[in-house]
Amino acid sequence: MKKKVVLYKKIPEEQLNRLKAHFELSCFEGINEQNRESFLGALAQAEGLIGASAPMPAAILDKASKLKAISTISVGTDRFDLDYLSARSVPLMHTPSVLTDTTADTIFMLMMCTARRAVELSNMVREGRWQASIGSEHFGVDVYGKTLGVVGMGRIGYALAKRAHLGFDMKINYFNRSANEKAEQELGARRTDLTTLLKTSDFVCVLVPLTLETEKMFAKAEFEIMHREAIFINGARGKVVNEADLIDALQNKTIRAAGLDVFEMEPLPGNSPLCRLDNAVLLPHTGSATLETRLKMARTAVDNLIAALNGDIAKNCANTHLIK
């Protein structure tokens, strides 16, 4: 008899068919008020759960008494309570490696767009406001040869630093719980405390996971340490930043600009003050949003669930202490 699995996000047909071949599948394209009861009913019988984007707190997963494994189609795990899942011995599988380069590309694009005011100047052309050669009031700043501060030197942080150092001759500062010897040896990266990084970096790129320790890690005090020409990039999670304080820093020119792919509330409301700031480049959480990468993520998530429900969690398990 096939194991019962609940899918709560639309995925490519090829991967959907793989799930159907292996499991008795209940499908939901997201969770909403209209399908919530049906979803909870299916979850009560499920041994496996796969999807992304929707929060899955303990209050929901308590109803899944037969649950043996979860596979999230993402690298981030903040939609889940890992301690709760670990206490139940339920592995949470994720997709940490397949989106590294694509996300690093996105973050570097944000660096370039903010430095050279690409969105602001593009809008000027589109709106017919380009009437003569631009003057200093529209000049950007160089990226080449500047100093990049990476907060969170994991896989994506290293990939970003590699692009910056080898492609743009940038000096690399980083703040991380542990030393990244590869970054130091191959890229000349310098590990510093956070205050030093903020004081000495022209670009500050945040790539830490969202935890109790990192929530609102960046607020008024941190922006005031940065120099006035510094550019802030958030490719982590919106709640790592106190958004109101960031808005104040941009409005008051405490820092030069910000490039943001994530926000405290997503989707970002159209009436957010961020939407009215020329010195903010805003993306709709697109870090991994390429056709190739999203296909790889879906395939990896399906691979992960099949393996986990067959007792193999050696690869891509977020609660690693469950691995024997």
Q: Which residues are catalytic?
A: 237, 266, 285
Q: How far apart, in whole angstroms, are the C-alpha atoms of residue 324 and residue 321?
A: 8
- Which single residue is written with the structure tokens 């599988």? 93
Extract long-range pairs of 172-177: CB within 8 Å, 24+ residues apart: 172/147, 172/148, 173/147, 173/148, 173/149, 173/197, 173/200, 173/201, 174/149, 174/150, 175/149, 175/150, 175/151, 176/152
CA dihedral over 180, 183, 188, 191, signed as positive or negative? negative
Question: Which of 209, 213, 205 is CA-nearest to residue 189?
Answer: 205
Residue environment code for 153-170, b if the CB has 16+ CB neighbours within 10 A, otherwise e: bbbbbbbbbbbbbeebeb
DSSP 131-170: -S---GGG-----TT-EEEEES-SHHHHHHHHIIIIIH--
Measured at the CA of 155, the angle between CA 264 and CA 74, to 5 degrees, comes to 50
- Count of Cβ atoms closer than 10 Å to residue 141 Cβ: 15
- Count of Cβ atoms closer than 10 Å to residue 194 Cβ: 15
